[in-house]
A and B are shown apart, each in its own frame.
Chain A
């Protein structure tokens, strides 16, 4: 029983505008892939990156296809763990990423938080906490406040989650509230089949996660998330519906995480059969072939682009490596913005 449609890109969708967005998104995906490969190497080499590295390999198409629809500075975006590509597509500079991974004081989190826990909330890019599902209501709250203040216009919100995160109470509460308020929010669910090591069969019991959309009274669609063209089509339509008053939109993408939960994890729990199945197609390779097949790029373009992206990543990491680390003696250690209410300032 399929309650919600599955989006597929057709030849008739391939307008000039679509082609331009496809190529732009592909560049974002490639930059995310190269950047995260590099971060993974730095982490494994030891010393430079503490904590962990959490990459979105295999999820770039689905993530960037949403991010590229958003308007930086006016739309509210709450990316999650595997959204490096979506962040780039939204307009977050990769400097913010590298500075946060390396923990320099030059970054938006100033060494106070790291890796994917970063953002610039005043510019519309929220900084996720680790508790899955809890960002949904925050994005909804921003939209709610704008609507109440009369400043919403046609701006929208968007947030991402995985199959595992949909099991949380926070996800349910947040989505139900957004639906009750008919807020213009895109909820993108990357069903990568494993929440850390836990497979879908231990996560939910419905046939397809998108079937839940009907239960919330919102629109939902599913898409093959390894296929950039289909992802773009799905998110373009969902964003258009949200901007024009259609309320929350759920998009469920089926794919496979082509990495561990973090770079510390070899994902040995994913069986070979799954690794060789259709959901394990590399979205970057699929998009590349699509562009080449349609004559939108040639192999020389591809080579030039790769060189440019690698240079960009290397230069960024080299620059940030020279930037200062936080100094505990200069840190103000104040969790409140009202300094006069901070306790213990008189203590040694």
Chain B
């Protein structure tokens, strides 16, 4: 028996619905159809009157969740693709994210965002939105990279009294499997050492954790030991764990699949250079996608995002500095 990352997301929603009657699910095609990716498969049957199809109205979906949260509900909203959350952007950053600060009323909503690229998905079904939302005060942004985190961090997100942007990576949906959902891991806000090492640190999150681990394996053959830090949540960002790792290795590669301008990798570099400049033996490096929309054809797509080989190349430059 094994369980995929996608099944873990489904199981977490099952558990959230089972445990707490104030949880309900709202999103496009998620009821009888079970969702575009089947992340809510058969949940509407198992929980009648708890899983609802929404019109194609991301703005209204999020606004609705905020109103429901004020009344004590804990809605989980499924964006069919993270890319479409741009239509609900205003409700997320202005309505949901400001509610507690303005009115002292918490806003416990979870917005699931199927994120990141897969071959053939093209410019509008591949985006990573975590940096956009992390920019706004009042939101928690989680980016699970493992089956265990996909499960437990979704349950934790639903229980949090603040709006959570839950970025689930589509590339991991079917590729990533575990024998079982493990024990509850770290809480939201704590990074994880995915692989210990001595010569350089890669700080990354979501699907790029796995590319980083493969690149670390490759460098191992050359005798280098690479530490990989999985942020787990990009906001809050666990600066202490990042700095502790850089203190051990003296070298930093900030890695992300999102577009290169600003964003999570820039934030990592900014924090390390401002708070841990003295720890660095080499200028910190960044690796992101290219600064173009995300291409459709697999040949182009594979070159657009960081891959094991481009990460390994960046590591070699970092180590040889």
Contacts and interface: CB of A to CB of B under 8 A. Distances in A.
Give the bracket for the number of chain B residues in contact with chain A.
35 or more
Given A336-B100, A338-B162, A173 B68 contact: no
A337 B162 contact: yes
Contact of B102 (A122, A127, A169): A127
B57 A134 contact: no
A335 B97 contact: yes
Contacts of A209: none
Interface in B49-105: 49-50, 54-55, 57-73, 75, 87, 90-91, 94-95, 97-103, 105
B94 A141 contact: no
B240 to A, nearest CB: 9
A160 to B, nearest CB: 16
Nearest to B98: A129
B144 interface: no
A130 B160 CA distance: 27
A142 B49 CA distance: 16
Contacts, number: 150
A343 B235 contact: yes
B103 A120 contact: yes
A341 B188 contact: yes
B237 interface: yes
Given A109-B102, A109-B103, A338-B160, A173 B60 contact: yes
Identify the interface centre among A113, A170, A337: most chain B CB within 10 Å of its CB.
A337
Interface residues of A, number: 46
Contacts of B70: 121-122, 126, 138, 141-142
Interface in A134-185: 134-146, 148-149, 169-170, 173-174, 176-177, 180
A174 B97 contact: no
B231 to A, nearest CB: 13
A311 interface: no
A117 interface: yes
B102 A338 contact: no
B60 A142 contact: no
A140 B188 CA distance: 31
Nearest to B70: A121
Contacts of A343: 235-237
Contacts of B101: 112, 334-335
B22 interface: yes
